[in-house]
């Protein structure tokens, strides 16, 4: 599948906010993973099955003694003006030699679907295989789910790897009803919302 290069707010910021068509902008290149958390994020980076491509962003943190990695995609060329979707991959500890995936949560219709535990058939190696559901696009339903069918990798850039300018653009841009899921003020709340039932106290 040939991926179309879609515009991202962060890449616009990196290009000094030049105004060009969405299909003329390439996603930000994936930086080298240096820290433990960055290496874990790359290790468990999902494949996305979709007819068009998108930049994938990541942000990770401890949440209730479990390491959460959020992968988020922005879809600017969608049936709606803006659309953000994300998954959260829950692992035991990124510092372990062989960290393990415990659960996966995916966005769907404004909430999260939890796969506890996820099916082995929904993985390609360490990375989960994710499908972007637009089959119900006439009703403006968009969401992600796991799949046994392979997709494609997009370059991943983590929140802390972005330039200050790019983070500010993502933090402050008004996406209308499509809330940016991993910015300050939303990230921790979304982890609490996405938390698998097996983690509830």
Q: How do the pLDDT tens digits run along the chain, 201 residues long? A: 223 333 445 554 444 344 434 444 456 788 899 999 999 998 999 888 765 556 789 999 999 999 999 999 987 655 556 789 999 999 999 999 999 999 999 998 778 999 988 999 999 999 999 998 765 444 456 789 999 988 888 889 999 999 999 999 999 988 888 889 999 999 999 999 999 877 655
Is residue 3 domain-resident?
Answer: no
3-state secondary structure string, 98-152? CCCEEEEEEEECCEEEEECCCCHHHEECCEEEEEEECCCHHHCCCEEEECCCCCE
Is residue 62 domain-resident?
Answer: yes
**pTM higher than 0.95:** no
Is residue 121 domain-resident?
Answer: yes
Q: What's the domain range around 102?
A: 9-199
Number of domains in the chain: 1
Is residue 161 domain-resident?
Answer: yes
Is residue 1 domain-resident?
Answer: no
Distance CA 132, CA 31 (A): 25
Is residue 139 domain-resident?
Answer: yes
What are residue 182's DSSP bridge partners? Answer: none
The tens digit of pLDDT for each residue in 2-11 reads 233 334 455 5
Is residue 143 domain-resident?
Answer: yes
Is residue 2 domain-resident?
Answer: no
Query: Where does residue 24 rank: exposed (0-12), middle (13-18), buried (19+ CB within 10 A)?
Result: exposed
């Amino acid at each position: 599948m040939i991926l179309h290069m879609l515009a991202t707010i962060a890449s616009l910021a990196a290009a000094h906010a030049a105004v060009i068509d969405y299909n003329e902008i390439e996603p930000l290149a994936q930086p080298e993973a240096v820290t433990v958390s960055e290496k874990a994020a790359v290790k468990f980076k999902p494949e996305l099955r979709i007819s068009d491509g998108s930049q994938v962003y990541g942000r990770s943190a401890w949440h209730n003694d479990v390491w959460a990695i959020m992968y988020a995609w922005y879809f600017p060329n969608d049936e709606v003006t803006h659309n953000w979707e994300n998954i959260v991959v829950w692992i035991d500890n990124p510092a372990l030699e062989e960290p393990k995936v415990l659960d996966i949560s995916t966005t769907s219709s404004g909430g999260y679907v939890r796969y506890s535990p996820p099916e082995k058939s929904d993985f390609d190696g360490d990375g989960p295989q994710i499908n972007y559901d637009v089959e119900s696009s006439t009703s403006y339903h968009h969401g992600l789910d796991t799949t046994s069918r392979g997709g494609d990798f997009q370059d991943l850039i983590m929140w802390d790897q972005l330039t200050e300018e790019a983070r500010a653009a993502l933090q402050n841009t008004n996406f209308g009803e499509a809330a940016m899921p991993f910015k300050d003020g939303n990230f921790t709340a979304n982890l609490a919302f996405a938390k698998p039932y097996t983690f509830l106290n």
